[in-house]
Amino acid sequence: MTAVSVPDAPHRSDFRTCASELAIRDFRNLERVDVTVPSDGMAIVGENGQGKTSFLEAIAYVEQLRSVRGARDRDLVRFDAPAFHVSATVHGPQGVAHLGVGADRAGRKKVTRDGVEVPRLTDALGALPSVLLAPRDVVLVSDGPAERRRFLDITLALTSPRYLRALRHYRGALERRNAALRDALRHRRNASSAAVWEPALAEHGAVLVDERRAWVNEHAAGFTRLSHAIGESGTAAMEYATTLPAGTPSADALHAALERGREHDLRRGATHAGPHRDDLALTLDGRDLRVVGSAGQQRTGAIALRLLEAATLRSRRATLPLLLLDDPFAELDNRRAARVLDLLLEAGVGQVVLCVPRAEEIPARFTRLARYRIVAGVLTEGT
């Protein structure tokens, strides 16, 4: 296959990030799991519904401090349990740390590092860099703009402190402007109270728009190359879709758009201009991939995005992230599956946690991984 240019990846073992001692309590259908994860990783075999995906999502939760599926914390708590807790010992370029995170049904969350509660959740965000590939990723292409905005927000928030700060401030200002709009509509007042929040929205929203644009510009050619390398014969493309003009400073353009739309927003009770309305446009031969793409083509686009996510973590965090593979080659023909595996290995693979329904579905290159079986949420070594 043709080599695909991706950002340089460190390959030395000391640049890998690995999880060792992993403890999971009452997370989804996992009541109690304690496992020492080998440095190369592990392969878990189990039928659907036995806990494979829950296991991977628990690991990913330690990185994102929220569900990778967007579920509420209370919905992650195992039935009849008061709370869940996940902890892991993390070995990375910065040394060794013991991370713990838990949440109860009331939504209260606590995060600790080496046994001490962190003052802010953002202080522990991204401490266990990982990328999860799963069949469900097709929603990145097949669903609406919210899924792709979430992808951008997570990828950039985990790799850019500036983006994370701006995202937090932007969401706060957006919530307050929308509340002011609804209050003004309810009491039949003008929208002057909503205007108070527009400078903050413009300032922080501009950071989001500029960093998203920069990321897309950096990786657009990579998206096309990766899609082709996986097996797409057409021309796949990616661009950032926003109503803000490219030639005007983003802060000025956003502030002007908010002013222009204030009366319209007042009638609707919501803000209609800003990065929370933008999209990551994916096309195939110039047409919307969500509309014209087959299931395989949409899956190809989603895998390309995950590969770019991994490349971003490697280049910005200077580490090989933990690779979480949830039946990653399901619904792919053998040729595309082999190419995806080649691309993963070509970019550099650190610790791998692979989950498949049957042992014969473990790729030959991962047969070295320690083998485990999961049944009804119980993990045991061997098959």
Q: What's the distance, CA 4 to chain centroid?
A: 23
Cβ-Cβ contacts under 8 Å for 117 (sequence gap 6 or more): 110, 111
Q: What angle do CA 161, 172, 268 make, to 5 degrees?
A: 135
Please give the model's pTM, rounded to 2 decimal places.
0.91
Buried b (16+ CB within 10 A) or exposed e, 67-87: ebeeeebeebbbeeeebbbbb
| DSSP string covering 48-67 | TTSSHHHHHHHHHHHHHSS-
Mean pLDDT of the chain: 91
List pLDDT tens digits, range 109-159: 999 999 999 988 888 899 999 999 999 999 999 999 999 999 999 999 999
Q: What angle do CA 357, 370, 58 make, to 5 degrees?
A: 65
Residue range 91-108, pLDDT digits in tens: 988 889 999 999 999 989
Per-residue pLDDT tens over the stretch 56-67? 999 999 999 999
Look at residue 173 in the predicted model and tell me its pLDDT.
97
* Contact in structure between 131 and 324 (CB atoms under 8 Å): yes
Residue 30 Cα to chain centre, angstroms: 22
Express each pLDDT in 186-236 by its tens digit.
Answer: 888 888 899 999 999 999 999 999 999 999 999 999 999 999 999 899 999
The Cα–Cα gap between 332 and 308 comes to 19
9 or 379, higher pLDDT: 379
Do the Cβ atoms of 315 and 8 come closer than 8 Å? yes
> pLDDT of 238-297, one tens digit each?
999 998 887 778 899 999 999 999 999 999 999 999 999 999 999 999 999 999 999 889
Encode pLDDT of 339-380 as tens digits. 888 888 887 778 999 999 999 999 888 889 999 999 999 999
Q: Answer whether 318's CB lies under 8 Å from 350's CB.
A: no
Q: Band the pLDDT of 9: cuts 50, 70, 90.
A: very low
Closest CA relative to residue 219, chosen from 9, 68, 5, 11: 5
Look at residue 333 in the predicted model and tell me its pLDDT. Answer: 81
Hey, what domains does the chain have and what are their CATH numbers? 17-129+319-383 (3.40.50.300)
Residue 332 — pLDDT band, cuts 50, 70, 90? Answer: confident
Burial annotation 359-380 (CB, 10 A radius, 16+ → b, else e): eebbbeebeebeebbbeebebe
Give Cα separations from 246 to 18, 139, 223, 313 (angstroms): 41, 28, 21, 27
Say what the pLDDT of residue 383 is.
67
